[in-house]
Amino acid sequence: MVTDNTCPICRSIDGSPSTVSSTGLGADRVRVDCDVCGRFLVSRSALVGELSYTDSKLDLTRRALLSHRLRLKTEGYAPRDELAVVTTETLKEVITSHDTLPSPASQSAKALRFVGDQVRESYTPIRRLPPHFHSLIGSPNRRFSYRLVRELRAQNLLDAVDADSQDDPLAVMNIEPTMDGWQVYESGQNGELKQGYGFVALKFGDEVLDSFLTQHVKPGLNEQGLRIIDLRDVSRAGVIDNIMREQIRDADFVLADLSHDNPGAYWEAGYAEGLGKPVVYICEKSKFDQYKTHFDTNHCTTVMWESDKPDEFLRELVATIKRSFG
């Protein structure tokens, strides 16, 4: 149970203070408001199981990964939206998944983007970094994120002064990009950062496509050193929000499934094309043979898939992706 005021997810990371208020929502869910992870619900069985204080199977990196995912969800939600729910299943998935935190280079790119975005809102330097800063950029803990910020300052991309804080010896204050920093920020805005992953755009909740993707496509691409970000990990169906835009901007390529003529998938592919990203279209074979896809993408390279022939599909897909990088 949540008996003290620490967050059941990030509580042990670097001793980060978290202001948590939890209120019982019926018998099986607890609401958590964490300065670091954001707002979410936790099932009671997860609290006494995977998240329990004495017997936790979540190591610090897994906790940081979950905190990062929850923070991205909180940022993506409108205030009245349904909150993310952390259940025993969620935690089992996090414990066994191959998903990792963003690379340090990617974290520092996100840090620079965060500072640039904030400063552009008021055109004054950021006084202090907020408590959720490390979780938002995907750092394992606060200390590491402060070191990245100091590194950005050493590279003359950020301007900041030491905060002389006893609690956080590495903390800085009055942070803003330098002119060099603004130039890197601008190129980041245009999606020129190499992050080492592809973004997948598709219809939500299609059973055949879902299992084809998780059982064959993701692991198959992983083996080839190609990682794909599934927007369902960080966002919601049918919502084109800033988080999704950022994911697409940072992706090295986009994989768009057109089997269901899904408007979201077309929008995301178009957004990526506009940014000059390689977009690889895929479509279920019988659908393509019968109805084709939307006329504007008919001339684009489309790789066909059949749920019972994953190996053939993967071979062609990997070759097409590698070709699209030139």
Contact footprint for Zn ion (CB under 5 A): 7, 9-10, 18, 34, 36-37
Q: Which is nearer to Zn ion, 135 or 259 (CB)?
A: 135
CB 324 within 8 A of CB 253: yes
Of 174, 170, 114, 172, residue with least CA distance to 138: 114
Q: Which is nearer to Zn ion, 36 or 254 (CB)?
A: 36
Q: Which is nearer to Zn ion, 16 or 297 (CB)?
A: 16
Place of tokens 């988080």: 243
Q: Which long-range contacts (CB under 8 A, 24 or more apart) does 315-320 make?
A: 317/217, 317/220, 317/221, 317/255, 317/280, 317/282, 318/220, 318/221, 318/224, 318/226, 320/280
Q: Which is nearer to Zn ion, 86 or 228 (CB)?
A: 86
Least separation, in Å, of the C-beta of 141 and Zn ion?
Answer: 12
Q: Which is nearer to Zn ion, 131 or 270 (CB)?
A: 131
Residue 85, phi then psi, degrees to nearest 5: -115, 125
Least separation, in Å, of the C-beta of 63 and Zn ion?
Answer: 9
- Separation of alpha carbons 265 and 297, rounded Å: 12
Contacts of 244 (CB under 8 A, 6+ apart): 76, 231, 234, 235, 268
Helix, strand or coil, per DSSP, at residue 89: helix
Least separation, in Å, of the C-beta of 37 and Zn ion?
Answer: 3
Least separation, in Å, of the C-beta of 20 and Zn ion?
Answer: 7
Least separation, in Å, of the C-beta of 10 and Zn ion?
Answer: 3
* Burial bucket for residue 139 (CB in 10 Å: 0-12, 13-18, 19+): buried
Least separation, in Å, of the C-beta of 62 and Zn ion?
Answer: 13
CB 82 within 8 A of CB 115: no
Least separation, in Å, of the C-beta of 85 and Zn ion?
Answer: 15
Of 36, 29, 27, 30, residue with least CA distance to 9: 36
Helix, strand or coil, per DSSP, at residue 223: helix
Q: Which is nearer to Zn ion, 18 or 247 (CB)?
A: 18
Q: Which is nearer to Zn ion, 34 or 64 (CB)?
A: 34
Least separation, in Å, of the C-beta of 52 and Zn ion?
Answer: 16
Q: Which is nearer to Zn ion, 159 or 168 (CB)?
A: 168
Q: Which residue's CB atom is positioned nearest to Zn ion?
A: 7
- Separation of alpha carbons 227 and 229, rounded Å: 7
